[in-house]
Structure 1
Amino acid sequence: MRDTSAHDNPSATRTFVDDAPGIPFMTSHLPWNLEFDPAVAPTTTRVDLGEPWVVSCRVGRMSGRRRAPEIRNTQGEYAAVLMVHSGTEILTQQGRTTEVRAGTAALWDGVRPVECFSAASLVKSTMFIPRALLAGAVPDFDSVFVRTIENSATLRLLTGWLDVSMRQTALDRDAAHTAGRMAVDLLHSALARTRGDVSDSREVLLLQIKDFLDRNLGDPDLTLDMVARANAVSVRYLHMLFQGTGETAREFLRRRRLERAQRLLLGSGPELPVAEVAVRSGFDSPSSFSRAYRTRFGVAPREARRQSTAA
């Protein structure tokens, strides 16, 4: 297995390429019990994008299962979205079976038994996401598993975005988090369209607005009026776009600011003052930042840094 991370950049995200014969999936996927065509050595590439990670792979004929032993050996709880680029993979979980063809996708649950099968060669990507990142934003979470996500503009945006991200071998941590966050937002959009909640055009506009908010997190004077004007919509329509996402536009902005603050606070070491973390994250004062941080994470910023350093 080659580690293609940038050795001179310790803050870079890491890319792993498995090119040895055998079963490379144990270093890139969740634990599975897998059987492969012995004539075709599987290959995988993994890139970490903050909390999610994505794996692309090529395999021959394949069958596999995740049951109680594999689930027990998994650290953390994840959901995974399978995106097939060439070939077909069949997924079975909780009595449901779906055929994931080229250009389509499906979500499976990492905390429940699941089986997969491919009768011929297969090229695919799989993004693994902590379940908590999806459960709060996807209504009726259990209903979306093992349902075909049909080809759509948002699904093509997701696969294209992940393809671009996979080509970057030395993303710094902030860039990796941004790429992962955008990928999860695109997945939310693809799932929403599959459920019939929104149209592609509305979801693309919502993603545009979220991207605008992410790019302007550091502006403490940013208002929803400014956001609406910059994206050529009314404030009322801006609020409508966020309906069904699990949070309002204001809550989304606050959450993103706190996520950025936590990365700066815990990843920068003691040299970046807490007051500077507040400024860079768009809070108008250290005291308002401290209150918001304590409400979200249950501990004051300085204490969170102290605990992180001590660990």
Structure 2
Amino acid sequence: MYFSTGDCAAEDKNRVWAETLSRTYFPLSAECHNTAEFRGELRSWSLGILGLSDMECDGVLYHRRRTDFANEKDSSLLITIPHRGDVHFKQAARSTKCSPGGFLVERGDMPYEFWHARRNKLWVLKVPTASVRARLGATDRLGALTFDATSGVGAYFAGAVRNTIDNIDVIPDAARELAGQQLLELLCLAMRSDDRLLSSASSTIRSAHLQRAEQFIRDNLKNPRLSSELVAESCGISQRYLQQLFAENDLSVIGYIRDERLTRCDEALKAANDTSSVASIALEWGFYDQAQFCKHYKKRFGCTPTDTRRQSRGETKREH
């Protein structure tokens, strides 16, 4: 999709620009610093479960308010990579600045303010919160964090975003979904390598043990031997202690494993160009009983796996 404010009347620019970004990301409001002279261009693409956009616009202030997401079922994160100048962000008790050479994480399930004073160029990824949670754990600590994109995995991630945008017009739909998956994995790897994510969730020995156990589970979901016994053994703790750690957070080890696997299955089912059957996707992620898989999936997502697959492919359910 491509949009430009070039033909908009000055009095309509705030509204039209806000509506355009709301369709691309999620509902928000926009206040152009100089409405009469404001110019904005936006290109956006779907990469399977991810959205990617290339935006260039003059100074603007965005608001995301509680009323904007009160009825949203699924939340998203925005990953912003600025190019020409600083962007500023405020969410909850955090205020931060992200400069070129970094990237910023914005939580869509909380109010925020985002602004840049002068014309800027931004790359923005819209990422399902559940997909990041399935790879990193709790996402509440991510809002308003900035990450380095000049070295290491962060630079590789930013380079992959650039390469995707530069070649998007010649990438077929199936390859776009694959590119989206690769960008998601690189993003999470870049964030996981940041010490703040480890220290912020590990203020006590017990929370450190829980985080280590959760990460081991997320990294081994395809292992058919994954069990509370294997998790405990790999983390060097007893099964009883492991169960206590999860119980303190109103979870069970088996329930946590099942929910993480369901999230990965849901991602695969929503991939329109994935030719795998529902049964093979379930089996790949550790579900060996199809009836139980369908039961748990419907309870979690409110529809059957087959319905999700049909919807992702634009199919309609056949009437009998």
TM-score scaled by length of structure 1? 0.64
> Residue 31 of structure 1 contacts residue 74 of structure 1 at CA under 8 Å; is this kept in 2?
no
What letter matches 1:310 in structure 2?
K
Distance in 2, Cα, partners of 1:303 & 1:140: 28
1:295, distance to aligned residue in structure 2 (A): 7.2
User: Among residues 27, 39, 47, which one is paired with 1:31 in the alignment?
Assistant: 27
Matched residue, 1:40: 38
Distance in 1, Cα, partners of 2:126 & 2:309: 28
> Residue 85 of structure 1 contacts residue 102 of structure 1 at CA under 8 Å; is this kept in 2?
yes
Distance in 2, Cα, partners of 1:40 & 1:300: 46
Point out where structure 2 has 5 or more consecutive residues left out of the alignment. 7-12, 199-211, 225-260
1:143, distance to aligned residue in structure 2 (A): 1.3
> Residue 63 of structure 2 contacts residue 114 of structure 2 at CA under 8 Å; is this kept in 1?
yes
Alignment CA distance shift 1:303-1:187 (3 Å): closer
Distance in 1, Cα, partners of 2:276 & 2:161: 34
| Superposition RMSD in Å | 3.8
Alignment CA distance shift 1:246-1:257 (3 Å): closer
- SS of residue paired to 1:90: strand
Q: Output one character per residue of 1:49-83: Cα deviation in whole Å (capped at 9) or x when no partner.
A: 11110112111111121112322476741111111
Superposed counterparts of 1:144-183, under 5 Å:
144-151=142-149, 152-166=151-165, 167-169=167-169, 171-183=171-183
Matched residue, 2:215: 244
Distance in 1, Cα, partners of 2:304 & 2:72: 31
Matched residue, 1:128: 126
1:92, distance to aligned residue in structure 2 (A): 0.1
User: Among residues 262, 279, 302, which one is paired with 2:269 in the alignment?
Assistant: 262
What letter matches 1:262 in structure 2?
L
1:256, distance to aligned residue in structure 2 (A): 10
> Residue 40 of structure 2 contacts residue 56 of structure 2 at CA under 8 Å; is this kept in 1?
yes
Alignment CA distance shift 1:197-1:119 (3 Å): closer
Q: Output one character per residue of 1:118-143: Cα deviation in whole Å (capped at 9) or x when no partner.
A: 12121111111111111232234211
Alignment CA distance shift 1:140-1:73 (3 Å): closer
Higher helix share: 2
1:47, distance to aligned residue in structure 2 (A): 1.0
Matched residue, 1:19: 4
Alignment CA distance shift 1:260-1:144 (3 Å): closer
> Residue 307 of structure 2 contacts residue 317 of structure 2 at CA under 8 Å; is this kept in 1?
no
- SS of residue paired to 1:178: helix
Matched residue, 2:204: none
Q: Which segment drifts farther, 55-64 or 294-303?
A: 294-303
Alignment CA distance shift 1:107-1:302 (3 Å): closer
- SS of residue paired to 2:147: coil
Distance in 1, Cα, partners of 2:309 & 2:131: 23
> Residue 105 of structure 1 contacts residue 148 of structure 1 at CA under 8 Å; is this kept in 2?
yes
What letter matches 1:195 in structure 2?
D
Matched residue, 1:208: none
Percent sequence identity is: 16
> Residue 29 of structure 1 contacts residue 55 of structure 1 at CA under 8 Å; is this kept in 2?
no
Q: How many residues align?
A: 245
- SS of residue paired to 1:144: coil
1:153, distance to aligned residue in structure 2 (A): 2.1
> Residue 261 of structure 1 contacts residue 278 of structure 1 at CA under 8 Å; is this kept in 2?
no
> Residue 148 of structure 2 contacts residue 155 of structure 2 at CA under 8 Å; is this kept in 1?
no
- SS of residue paired to 1:125: strand
> Residue 282 of structure 2 contacts residue 290 of structure 2 at CA under 8 Å; is this kept in 1?
no
Superposed counterparts of 1:61-76, under 5 Å:
61-72=59-70, 76=74
Matched residue, 2:52: 54
